[in-house]
Amino acid sequence: MSSERILIIRFSALGDVAHTLAFVNRLRKARPRAHITWILKPLTYDLVKHQNNVDHFVIFSPKSGLGALKKISEELGNEPFDLVFMLQVSFKASIISLAAKGKVKLGYDIRRSRELQWFFSNRRIPHRPSGHVLTQFFEFLDASNMPDTPLDWGIHITDEERAYQTEFFKLIDRPVVSFVIASSKIEKDWHAKGYARVMDKVNDCLGLQPMIVGGPSERERRLADKILGLCRCTPLVALEKPVRNTLLQLAGSRVVVAPDTGPMHMAVALNIPTVALYGYSDPRRCGPYRRFQDLLINKYHLPGEKKGAITRKTKKDRMRLITPEEVIGKIEYALQKY
């Protein structure tokens, strides 16, 4: 008897793909014999490429236009999938779903479906109030009668990567506090002066090594240079590719400090104590999932404000309300508790 064929469509962004790892691991426990295919972009594939619970990855470049759709269609083949999980709500993702022949194409309920996703699915999860992104992913498994299992991101790190990590940290003579200084939107970022004050405190009073981590974008490099110019100490700087290097640097850190960004979710998935800085976006929807809630700094909800329903609404200028003293306090608490 042929195994059940399952397709996952979730190719961006880094944080959401990190969440999808927990989804995949629960799926695999429920369907140990299924053949699981996952459609990704090159950057997000690099994050998850060593995961054994996925049988086949299909990688496409959005820059290829209609050529990408043709490539995906050819790679998926003519055999229909028993179940397609349409986890990504975007018109692009829905168009990509056309490349897959699926008996069941499971999407969001109409009220949570955006950009016409409901038009491309033939079955929908029941409506629930919006929750955390990963909780909503798990709703797809609930709707497919797959049992709940303990939360497990299970990020696999190879022996070769462990060797790189050992070599990287070998010359650092004290534990590292890693700072992710930039996100996908400048409104989600904290300010350079605050980072500099915290890094000096980490170095001078806590005896730990501050390190700036992330990608090599021009904005990240400019912000890093500004922070270095404000610091009395000398933080290490590791702004580089590939994203797996950042993953390994986070995995070797004693504590991570980060705004709402992919590496923050990666650190939480790795179970590294993470001080999450939130003000622009609602942490109930896209904050650290279950872990390290006591390390969260939440300026999205101020004392006395009614929280209301979880939405995608953003709040500008809230990140500036975070103080260096609050961040330092959370780092000290993380060192004591974790």
Strand partners, 71: none
The set of residues, in sequence order, having a beta carbon less than 8 Å from that of 268 and lying 6+ positions away, is: 274, 276, 288, 289, 291, 292
- DSSP string of 84-142, one letter each residue: EEE---SHHHHHHHTTS-BS-EEE--TTT--TTHHHH-SEEPPP-----HHHHHHHHHH
pLDDT attached to residue 64: 75
Asked whether the predicted pLDDT for residue 288 surpasses 90, the reply is yes
Asked whether the predicted pLDDT for residue 69 surpasses 60, the reply is yes
Asked whether the predicted pLDDT for residue 1 surpasses 50, the reply is no
What is the tens place of the pLDDT at every residue in 227-253?
999 999 999 999 999 999 999 999 999
pLDDT attached to residue 66: 73
The DSSP call for residue 81 is B
- pLDDT mean over 166-192: 97
What is the tens place of the pLDDT at every residue in 12-58?
999 999 999 999 999 999 999 999 999 999 999 999 999 999 999 99
Peptide bond just before 242 cis, omega within 30 deg: yes
Domains and CATH numbers, the chain: 5-143 (3.40.50.2000), 159-337 (3.40.50.2000)
- pLDDT mean over 125-146: 97
d(CA 283, CA 289): 9
Asked whether the predicted pLDDT for residue 269 surpasses 50, the reply is yes
d(CA 292, CA 289): 8
d(CA 332, CA 24): 34
Work out the burial of residue 230: count CB atoms within 10 Å of its CB; fewer than 13 is exposed, 13-18 middle, 19 or more buried: middle
The label of the residue with tokens 């594939």 reads 45
184: Cα within 13 Å, side-chain hemisphere? 11
pLDDT attached to residue 2: 64
pLDDT attached to residue 186: 96
pLDDT attached to residue 63: 76
Asked whether the predicted pLDDT for residue 149 surpasses 70, the reply is yes
What is the tens place of the pLDDT at every residue in 78-122?
999 999 999 999 999 999 999 999 999 999 999 999 999 999 999
Residue 297 confidence class, pLDDT cut points 50, 70, 90: very high
- Average pLDDT over the chain, rounded to an integer: 96
Dihedral-angle region of residue 337 (phi above 0 means left; psi in -120 to 50 means alpha; beta otherwise): alpha
Q: pTM for the whole thing?
A: 0.96
Inter-residue contact 75 to 58 (CB < 8 Å): yes
Strand partners, 107: 124
Q: Which of 276, 282, 290 is nearest to 312 (CA)?
A: 282
Asked whether the predicted pLDDT for residue 61 surpasses 90, the reply is no
